[in-house]
């Protein structure tokens, strides 16, 4: 794996970043030299941004930049940026409400003032700035922000101006993304060296804005020395996601070799869930698709998914599947994967017992999860013989794992605990979907769109994931890698659909039609190894 690819996947905690930095300094890199290098890269990036985006940053002779400077090296970086932008002709002003500063930061402040950059006592005096640089705190934030800094940050936020945060928005916990007291609401974040975990947590996203990484050549040996060869937390990136897709197909194959997926979904009340799950399964390219639904849904399903084998099952009085009635000579072991849950209602309780006893990979979603929670998540899953993937949103997660951490806060901790206790792969849905395997490795989906916050999007994911698992069954690819690929593909389809149709135009049915569009764009642009 090349440097760029590795760096794009690495995610670090504050402690890991500190340990990596210490190795660099122990190796002989002077602290001041590194600050000069890093801040030079930041200044270059800001200058390019200003030139690139003239609607957001209009050219004007009075264009003024306010720079917020903290007591540590985040403040030191900000002061070097202030000096560089000043020498490049920008009008800059500084706000640094700290009397105690680290030595290097103090030296840079003294020099900045000596060349004529004014350091203001009050942030109000920067009110006319067009852009702010946030260099108050980086990964060294230790406690909740208090006054007078809290008031200054709140004032800055009220101005609703463009703010570029250095490393991470000040006030965010580097690991959990929690707002500690108050936090800068940045429009852009330039993360330094390696992605900080907090920037990938849902609770941070209101403050992060558009995030990008500034690579300052941290040696790979230092990264591996602290994180090990197999990273504990990884961003899901395009290259790894594409590499687990079942492309290209071998020329000599047949439908059963390309995976047989069984979907179990729907009820008289929720027929749409069954349909969307089916369309998600179809978009995966799976060789054979069988869909078990209550008898009364059979004709609608056949009309919409003519290629699928629709299995009409006896119904309860309420219109849920009463029992699985598979075709003659078929039992659950004939399938390569099963996905079960969307639209079932809790009345389909008896069928869950049956699928849990099967020995093929199983995805549980929606009512499949609710029924599992009623049965007792952990004792029930302990009896499973084959891999299980649970795909809860935060509400379902709470029902499944009432004693674990809150899935709305440190989601990485929550999903990791859940996978360890249940011995399942757990995919916790959200703006930054998090996936954990029972061994404690976590995958985070770094890009998505709120266009997906819409009923039915999750059903599409269930079908898609089931279809990919069925196709991977003979390929020895870990279930968690396939799960990460499904999350990436699903989110990319949402992003592409939102670009073409706005965030309001991505209903779940439309989403299914964009799945293949993503592959057309990505596969063609990345490689010529795929044949069509």
Ligand X SMILES: NC(=O)C1=CN([C@@H]2O[C@H](COP(=O)(O)OP(=O)(O)OC[C@H]3O[C@@H](n4cnc5c(N)ncnc54)[C@H](O)[C@@H]3O)[C@@H](O)[C@H]2O)[C@@H](O)CC1
Ligand Y SMILES: Nc1ncnc2c1ncn2[C@@H]1O[C@H](COP(=O)(O)OP(=O)(O)O)[C@@H](O)[C@H]1O
Is 452 a binding residue for ligand Y by CB under 6 A? The answer is: yes
Positive or negative torsion for Cα 481, 483, 484, 490: positive
Q: Is 142 annotated for ligand binding?
A: yes
Q: Which stretch binds ligand Y (CB under 6 A): 237-245, 295-303, 414-422, 450-458?
A: 450-458
Minimum gap (Å) between residue 442 Cβ and ligand Y: 15
Q: How many CB atoms lie within 10 A of CB 521?
A: 12
Contacts to ligand Y from residues 463-492, by CB under 6 A: 490
Residue 432 known to bind ligand: yes
140 is an interface residue for ligand X by CB under 6 A: yes
- Kind and range of the H or E element at 152? helix 149-159
- Residue 207 tokens read as 């403050």
Residues 6+ apart with CB under 8 A from 103: none
Retrieve residue 58's tokens. 């209009």
* Residue 79 and residue 103 in contact, taking contact as beta carbons nearer than 8 Å: no
User: Which residues 6+ apart lie within 8 Å of 532 measured at CB?
Assistant: none
31-70 positions binding ligand X, by CB under 6 A: 31, 34-35, 38, 70
SS3 101: coil
Does 377 engage in binding with ligand Y (CB under 6 A)? no
438 lines the binding site for ligand X (CB under 6 A): no
| Strands 434-436 and 442-444, bridge-based pairing | antiparallel
Question: Residue 73 annotated as binding?
Answer: yes
Residue among 448, 471, 485, 512 that touches ligand Y (CB under 6 A):
448
Identify which range of 70-78, 189-197, 346-354, 448-456 contacts ligand Y by CB under 6 A: 448-456
Q: Is 397 annotated as a binding residue?
A: no
Q: Is 138 annotated as a binding residue?
A: yes
Instruction: Say how many residues make up the chain.
Output: 532
Q: Which of 366, 425, 464, 506 binds ligand Y (CB under 6 A)?
A: 366
Query: Is there a binding annotation on residue 215?
Result: no
Burial of 245 from C-beta contacts in 10 A (0-12 / 13-18 / 19+): buried
Q: Is 139 annotated in some ligand binding site?
A: yes
Q: Which among 133, 169, 170, 129 is positioned nearest to 149, based on CA atoms?
A: 170
Cα 46 to the center of its chain, rounded Å: 25
φ, ψ (nearest 5 deg) of residue 214? -105, 110
Give the shortest CB-236-to-ligand Y separation in angstroms.
Answer: 12
Residue 19 counted as an annotated binding residue: no
Pick between residue 170 and residue 422 the one whose CB is nearest to K ion: 170
CB nearer to ligand X: pick between 157 and 323: 157
Strands (E) across 24-166 are located at 64-69, 91-95, 118-120, 131-135, 163-166
Q: Rule CB under 6 A: which of 167-186 touch ligand X?
A: 167
* 429, 444, 471, 511: which one binds ligand Y (CB under 6 A): 429
Sole binder of ligand Y in the list 51, 115, 127, 453 (CB under 6 A): 453
Footprint of ligand X on this chain (CB under 6 A)? 21, 31, 34-35, 38, 70-75, 77, 102, 137-143, 145, 166-167, 192-193
Q: Which residues bind ligand Y (CB under 6 A)?
A: 366, 393, 429-431, 433, 448-450, 452-453, 455-459, 461, 490
**Known binding positions:** 73-77, 134, 138-144, 167, 170, 343, 393, 429-433, 458-459
């Amino acid at each position: 794996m090349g440097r760029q690819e590795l760096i794009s996947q690495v995610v670090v905690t504050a402690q890991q970043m500190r340990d990596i930095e210490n190795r660099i300094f122990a190796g002989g890199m002077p602290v001041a030299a590194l600050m000069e290098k890093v801040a030079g890269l930041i200044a270059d990036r800001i200058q390019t941004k200003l030139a690139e985006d003239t609607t957001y940053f209009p050219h004007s002779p009075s264009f003024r930049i306010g720079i917020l400077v903290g007591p540590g090296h985040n403040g030191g970086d900000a002061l070097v940026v202030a000096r560089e932008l000043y020498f490049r002709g920008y009008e800059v002003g500084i706000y640094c409400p700290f009397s105690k500063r680290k030595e290097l930061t103090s030296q840079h402040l003294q020099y900045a003032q000596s060349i004529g950059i004014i350091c203001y006592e009050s942030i109000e005096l920067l009110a006319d700035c067009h852009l702010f640089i946030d260099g108050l705190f980086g990964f060294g934030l230790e406690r909740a922000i208090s006054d007078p800094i809290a008031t200054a940050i709140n004032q800055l936020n009220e101005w609703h101006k463009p703010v570029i945060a250095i490393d991470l928005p000040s006030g965010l916990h580097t690991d959990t993304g929690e707002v500690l007291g108050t936090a800068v609401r940045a429009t852009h974040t330039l993360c330094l060296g390696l992605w900080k975990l907090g920037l990938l947590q849902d609770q941070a996203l209101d403050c992060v804005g558009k995030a990008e990484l500034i690579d300052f050549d941290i040696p790979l040996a230092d990264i591996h020395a602290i994180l090990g060869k197999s990273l504990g937390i990884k961003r899901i990136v395009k290259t790894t996601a594409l590499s687990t897709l079942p492309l290209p197909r071998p020329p000599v194959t047949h439908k059963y070799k390309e995976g047989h997926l069984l979907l179990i979904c729907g009820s008289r009340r929720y027929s749409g869930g069954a349909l969307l799950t089916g369309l998600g399964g179809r978009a995966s390219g799976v060789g054979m698709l069988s869909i078990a639904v209550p008898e009364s849904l059979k004709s609608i399903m056949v009309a919409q998914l003519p290629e699928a084998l629709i299995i009409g099952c006896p119904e309860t009085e309420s219109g849920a599947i009463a029992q699985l009635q598979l075709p003659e000579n078929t039992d659950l072991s004939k399938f390569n994967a099963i996905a079960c849950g969307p639209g079932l209602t809790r009345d389909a309780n008896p069928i869950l017992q049956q699928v849990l006893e099967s020995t093929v990979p199983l995805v549980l979603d929606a009512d499949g999860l609710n029924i599992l929670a009623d049965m007792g998540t952990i004792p029930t899953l302990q009896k499973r013989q084959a891999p299980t993937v649970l795909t809860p949103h935060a509400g379902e997660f709470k029902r499944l794992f009432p004693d674990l951490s809150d899935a709305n806060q440190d989601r990485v901790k929550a999903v990791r605990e859940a996978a360890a206790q249940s011995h399942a792969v757990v995919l916790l849905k959200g703006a930054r979907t998090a996936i954990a395997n029972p061994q404690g490795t976590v995958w985070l989906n770094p890009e998505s769109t709120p266009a997906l916050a819409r009923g039915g999007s999750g059903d599409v994911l269930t079908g898609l994931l089931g279809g990919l698992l069925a196709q991977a069954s003979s390929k020895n690819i870990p279930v968690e890698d396939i799960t990460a690929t499904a999350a990436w593909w699903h989110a990319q389809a949402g992003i592409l659909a939102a670009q073409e149709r706005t965030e309001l135009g991505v209903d779940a049915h439309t989403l299914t039609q964009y799945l293949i569009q993503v592959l057309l764009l990505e596969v063609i642009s990345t490689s010529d190894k795929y044949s069509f």
